[in-house]
């Protein structure tokens, strides 16, 4: 009996800590599936009856969501790709050389307010004649993806047993070969985790796209912010757009939660 009570108590506390997360998400879903009249009524209508997809149609009709979606994919994808290409060897090198000072450099990137990159980089892009293209956004997103990625990789390479590489070195492999043929294959799971986290935090970034993006280069979070309409507050379409932007990330988190949790716990990182 006492155990049962304890179990109930424990179950209740689990419910309490998980509910804020789930309630806000459900409220976003609810707002997106209701008509404007229901969204504006007080006391609020919780369960849409009947649910309507009008808000989603509205979002697609009035915005070029497909363009923004593709932009976001390009930006997060390219920024992460570059982070992988240079970040894997960097993580390996820093871990092996125990170059903690270099690791600190990535930490400084983590500490610096994102806004402070914007003006100088913008002027740099101007000199390079890149303004108006999507490249400035991709490059600024490296500020997010690269530190996360290197951080995860350092942790990962440090946790790998060194025996195999050492054996390879003794057999006469060069350092590069030992990295390429021994360490790299072993690091694949770490790369996947680092890449996913990079993509997510780059996807979520608002400020770089907000300042550097134009009509053809706008990313999704900026597009959603711009949905705040001219006349009156239109909650339905706004919630629908918010849901569309964040849904891919949320689904990704739920599907591969184990890897994400592992990566985050190891690095204690986040973007921005």
Partner 1 sequence: MNRFTRRKALKIGAGAAGILAAPAIMKVARAQTGGFNWKKFQGQSIEVSLTLGPRADVLRRHEKEFTDLTGIKVGSEAVPEQQHRQQVVIQFNSGNPQFDVISISWHVQKRLVGKAKWLADMKPLLADSSLTAPDYDFPDFTAGGLRWATQGDGRMDTLPLNIDPWMIYWNKELFAAKGLAFPKTFDEIVMAAEKLTDKASGQYGWVSRGLKNANVPVWTSFMLGHDMDPVNPKTVALQTTTPEAIAAAEYYKKLNKDFAPPGTVGFNWNESQTSFSQGKIGMWLDGIGFAPPLEDPTKSRVVGKVGYGIMPNGPKSKNSATFGDGIGIAAASKKKEAAYLYTQWATSKLMCARLLQSGGGSPCRASSYSDKDVIAGLKLPREWLTCLQESTAIGRPGLPEIVPVTEFRDTFGIGLTNTIGGADARTEMVKATEAFAPVLQKSEAS
Partner 2 sequence: MSQATLEQKAAIEETPERGRAFGRHYLPFAYPALLITAAVIVFPWMFTIYMSLHDWKIGQQREFVGLANFVKLATDGRFHEAIWHTLYFTVLAVVLPVIFGTIAALIFNERFPLRGFLRAVFILPMMATPVAVALVWTMMFHPQLGVLNYLLSLVGIPPQLWVYEPSTVIPSLVLVEVWHWTPLVMLIVLGGLAALPTEPYESAKIDGASAWQMFRHITLPLIMPFLLVAIVIRTIDALKAFDTIYVITQGGPGTASETLNIYLYLNAFSFYNIGYASAVTIVFFVLIVLLSMMLLYLRQKAKWS
**Rounded Cα distance, 151 and 268, in Å:** 9
User: With binding defined as CB under 8 A, does residue 20 bind partner 2?
Assistant: yes
Give the DSSP per-residue string, 150-209.
Answer: HHHHHHHHHHS-SHHHHHHHHTT--HHHIIIIIIHHHTHHHHHHHHHHHHHHHHH--HHH
Cα–Cα distance, 83 to 144 (Å, whole number): 9
User: What distance in Å separates the CA atoms of residue 58 and residue 44, rounded to the nearest whole number?
Assistant: 22
CB-wise, 61 or 66, nearer to partner 1? 61
Select from partner 2, partner 1, none the partner in contact with residue 150, using the beta carbon and a kind-dependent cut-off of 5 to 8 Å. partner 2
Residue 116 interacting with partner 1 (CB under 8 A): no
Q: Which of residues 188-217 bind partner 2 (CB under 8 A)?
A: 200, 203-204, 206-207, 211
Selected from 33, 137, 152, 239, the binder of partner 2 by CB under 8 A is 239
Q: Which is nearer to partner 2, 215 or 258 (CB)?
A: 258
Q: Compute the distance between CA of residue 150 and CA of residue 233 in angstroms, rounded to an integer.
A: 42
Q: How is residue 256 annotated by DSSP?
A: T
The SS3 of residue 41 is: coil
Backbone angles phi, psi at 27, to 5 degrees: -65, -40
Which residues are CB-neighbours of 252 under 8 A, at least 6 positions away?
Answer: 196, 200, 260
* Binds partner 2 (CB under 8 A): choice among 78, 130, 139, 182: 139
**In angstroms, what is the minimal distance from the CB of 132 to partner 1?**
5
How many chain residues touch partner 2 (CB under 8 A)?
A: 101
146 binds, options partner 1, partner 2, none, Cβ within 5 to 8 A by partner type: partner 2
Q: Give 152 or 200: the residue with its C-beta nearer to partner 2.
A: 200
| Cα 221 from Cα 97, distance rounded (Å) | 39
Among 1, 21, 228, 254, binds partner 1 (CB under 8 A): 228
Contacting residue, 69, 122, 135, 206, with partner 1 by CB under 8 A: 122
Q: Any contact of residue 129 with partner 1 (CB under 8 A)? A: yes
Q: Applying CB under 8 A, which part among 52-60, 61-69, 185-193, 227-235 lies near partner 2?
A: 227-235
Which residue, chain included where needed, has tokens 């985050």?
A: 264
40 touches partner 1 (CB under 8 A): yes
Based on the shown chain and the rule CB under 8 A, indicate whether residue 211 belongs to the binding site for partner 1.
Answer: yes
Q: Which of 226, 249, 256, 259 binds partner 1 (CB under 8 A)?
A: 226
Structure tokens at 131: 């303004």
């Amino acid at each position: 009996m006492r155990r049962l009570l304890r179990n109930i108590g424990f179950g209740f506390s689990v419910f309490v800590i998980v509910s804020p997360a789930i309630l806000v998400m459900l409220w976003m879903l609810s707002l997106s599936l209701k008509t404007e009249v229901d969204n504006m009524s007080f006391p609020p209508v919780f369960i849409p009856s009947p649910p309507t997809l009008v808000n989603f149609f509205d979002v697609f009709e009035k915005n070029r969501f497909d363009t923004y979606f593709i932009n976001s994919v390009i930006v997060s994808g390219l920024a992460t790709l570059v982070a992988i290409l240079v970040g894997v060897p960097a993580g390996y090198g820093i871990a092996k050389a125990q170059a903690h000072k270099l690791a600190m450099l990535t930490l400084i990137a983590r500490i610096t307010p994102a806004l402070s990159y914007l003006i100088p980089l913008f002027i740099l892009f101007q000199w390079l004649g890149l303004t108006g293209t999507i490249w400035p956004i991709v490059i600024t997103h490296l500020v997010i993806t690269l530190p996360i990625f290197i951080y995860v990789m350092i942790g990962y390479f440090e946790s790998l047993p060194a025996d195999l590489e050492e054996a390879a070195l003794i057999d006469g492999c060069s350092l590069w070969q030992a990295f390429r043929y021994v360490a790299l294959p072993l690091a694949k799971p770490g790369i996947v985790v680092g890449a996913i986290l990079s993509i997510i935090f780059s996807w979520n970034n608002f400020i770089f796209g907000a300042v550097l993006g134009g009509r053809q280069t706008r990313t999704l979070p900026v597009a959603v912010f711009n949905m705040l309409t001219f006349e009156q507050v239109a909650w339905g379409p706004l919630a629908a757009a918010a849901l569309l932007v964040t849904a891919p990330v949320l689904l990704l988190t739920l599907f591969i939660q184990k890897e994400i949790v592992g990566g985050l716990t190891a690095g204690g990182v986040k973007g921005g």
